[in-house]
Amino acid sequence: MSIKERIRVVLMVIILFPSILFAQNKSEERPPNIFFFFADDWGEYASVYNSFPPNQSFRTPTIDQFAKKGVIFNNAHVTSPSCTPSRSSLLSGQYFYRTGTGAILTGAKWDSNIPSYPLLLRDAGYHIGYTYKVWSPGTPKDAPYGGKKYEYANAGRRFNNFSQNVTKMVARGKLIDEAKTEIYKEVIQNFRDFIADRKDNKSFCYWFGPTNTHRKWVKGSGKMLWGLEPDSLKGKMPEFLPDVHVVREDMTDYLGEVLALDAVLELFLKELEVMGERENTIIVISGDHGIPGMPRGKCNLYPFGTKVPLLVQWPGHAPAGRYVDDFINLMDLAPTFLELADQPIPECMTGKSIVSLLQSDKSGLIDSTRDYVIVGRERHVAKAREGNLPYPQRAISTKDFLYIINFAPDREPMGTPFGLDGTGSEPSFAELENNTSVSYSDLDASPTKAWMIKNRKQKEWEMHWLLGFGKRPMEELYDLRKDPDYLYNVADKIEYADVQKKLHKRLIDNLKATGDPRVSGDGQTFEKPPFVEK
């Protein structure tokens, strides 16, 4: 390069530098977009979480690749393993029992005095919107997200009944891949409609809430639509579930729905790239509790019910390829999103922002104070027990132990065993498979539920039956170092007395400090209509 050309380059840099700097500052001044991918009834089921044996039987390529370029949280839990309480907690940044009637499922009502992060972001100038499920069942529907005004679903809702709709389309002559693609296009068009409504290039906050992983899905769809072989799960089932074909197929069909999530995630990532928004968007992936219709999952305080995926990408800010072992409660996301937007965090929020964990370059346990999580449950299906009684529980989980208090051990944890308690006729397999309310209605209807009930008297399955449906003692303690499937309650073992005492105190102290009505004030708050009060 000649001297003349070099001088020209230098002059161009001098001329353009202020514009480049201004553009960079303008980008930095605009807070990041927030894209929240939150699947209904989706626990920690993806091949990136391969310590759970069933996840070793299939691959979720998009989620796995996303994790490699992001941050994997290994100990994320919901505050309550039931849809509405879990979501009330997440949206408000508080423990579920602090959200008034948002702490229950049936009959939930949203208290507009409770701050919710989407509305706070809206007031701060964000363009907000959602597709499919946010907060329901509850009244008014999706109130913490501003209601129907911010819903974008006109392009279609068929993804929510994915296996059912694809199966119907194939029966009418479409190829499987054609049917899938047609439904995926609806999902992306809903997102495009949301973006089209954005004014002045505002930062956006978008919630994608698919419900396809909620019961029920088509029996055999895991194999038919995704090529998953049920018996590839043989020897990989948790020990508390019968390792039989019916249960394996049920799990496989669920994993097929997870693959639908994986496929549509890839399209969202490409869409953000095409829009030029990928680099200024934090993407968070999670679910609202564990698998439905399987004992010890949804509506239970065991990890099978409370543990969920949490995967995050934040380009340029969150060093990638890391795993974090800090215990996270999903109520931590509300203050996190507010901090990302440089907004004040309401004092009522009991969640704690994880921005510092995202920005860290470390793996493993980063914040030593995050060595536990507290979860709880009151009621799921209102009529599961006579008098609408709840099944009150609280638990604390650490790396090594799980400690649970069952406040009413005389009650049935999964609801009244209608037709199995000597009153009325026993429900048929088909009824148990399709109608949640016929018996044990705090466990969703499913082939697994039906098979276990019909085989409950066989000696081979006695342990599985008691673990899933039997009454529970006042206290449960599991040594997860020796018993990863939490099969053996050691609460009455003298060698664990000190551990039990410490965990009990730590749990109760936290519940009192955060105003849990179960241990503070009127202990009957959750027992009588309207069941909860602020």
Residue 120: CATH number of its domain: 3.40.720.10
At CB < 8 A and 24+ separation, what contacts does 493-501 make?
499/401, 500/403, 500/475
CA distance linking residue 216 with residue 211, whole number of Å: 10
What's the domain range around 457?
377-513
CA distance linking residue 408 with residue 389, whole number of Å: 10
Tell whether 6 is covered by a domain: no
Cβ proximity of 331 and 89 under 8 Å: yes
Tell whether 396 is covered by a domain: yes
Q: Which of 17-31, 96-110, 260-274 has the lowest mean pLDDT?
A: 17-31
Q: Are residues 309 and 249 in the same domain?
A: yes
Q: Are residues 348 and 396 in the same domain?
A: no
Greater confidence (421 vs 484) lies with 484
Task: Report whether pLDDT(19) > 60.
Answer: no
Which residue, among 156, 170, 251, 204, has the nearest Cα to 447 in the 3D structure?
Answer: 251
How high does pLDDT run on average in the chain? Answer: 93
Q: Are residues 365 and 403 in the same domain?
A: no
23 pLDDT tier (thresholds 50, 70, 90)? very low
Give the pLDDT of residue 523: 63
Task: Encode pLDDT of 346-384 as tens digits.
Answer: 999 999 999 999 999 999 999 999 999 999 999 898 889
Task: Report whether pLDDT(530) > 80.
Answer: no
CA distance linking residue 119 with residue 125, whole number of Å: 10
Q: Are residues 107 and 151 in the same domain?
A: yes
The helix (H) or strand (E) run that includes residue 255 is: helix 245-275
Tell whether 23 is covered by a domain: no
CA distance linking residue 423 with residue 418, whole number of Å: 7
- Domain final residue pick, 371, 386, 404: 371
Q: Are residues 381 and 259 in the same domain?
A: no
Tell whether 44 is covered by a domain: yes
249 pLDDT tier (thresholds 50, 70, 90)? very high
Q: Are residues 214 and 334 in the same domain?
A: yes
> Cis before residue 530, ω within 30 degrees of 0?
yes
Stretch 9-16: mean pLDDT, rounded?
39
Beta-carbon contacts of residue 212 (< 8 Å; ≥ 6 apart)? 39, 40, 159, 160, 161, 162, 163, 257, 260, 261
Q: Which two tokens stand for residue 193?
A: 């409609």
- Portion of the chain with pLDDT greater than 70, in percent: 93
Q: Are residues 351 and 483 in the same domain?
A: no
Q: Are residues 363 and 225 in the same domain?
A: yes
Tell whether 9 is covered by a domain: no
| Distance of alpha carbon 157 from the chain centroid | 20
CA distance linking residue 354 with residue 310, whole number of Å: 12
Tell whether 418 is covered by a domain: yes
Q: Are residues 430 and 366 in the same domain?
A: no
Cβ proximity of 231 and 246 under 8 Å: no
- Domain final residue pick, 371, 387, 405: 371
Q: Are residues 95 and 170 in the same domain?
A: yes
Q: Are residues 96 and 213 in the same domain?
A: yes
Beta-carbon contacts of residue 281 (< 8 Å; ≥ 6 apart)? 32, 33, 34, 35, 272, 315
Give the pLDDT of residue 527: 80
Question: pTM, whole model, 2 decimals?
Answer: 0.93
Task: Encode pLDDT of 400-434 as tens digits.
Answer: 999 999 999 999 999 999 999 777 799 999 999 99
Tell whether 14 is covered by a domain: no
- Domain final residue pick, 371, 386, 408: 371
Stretch 278-294: mean pLDDT, rounded?
97
Q: Are residues 353 and 455 in the same domain?
A: no
Cα–Cα separations (whole angstroms), residue 305 to 12, 291, 525: 61, 7, 24
Count of domains in the chain?
Answer: 2
CA distance linking residue 243 with residue 396, whole number of Å: 29
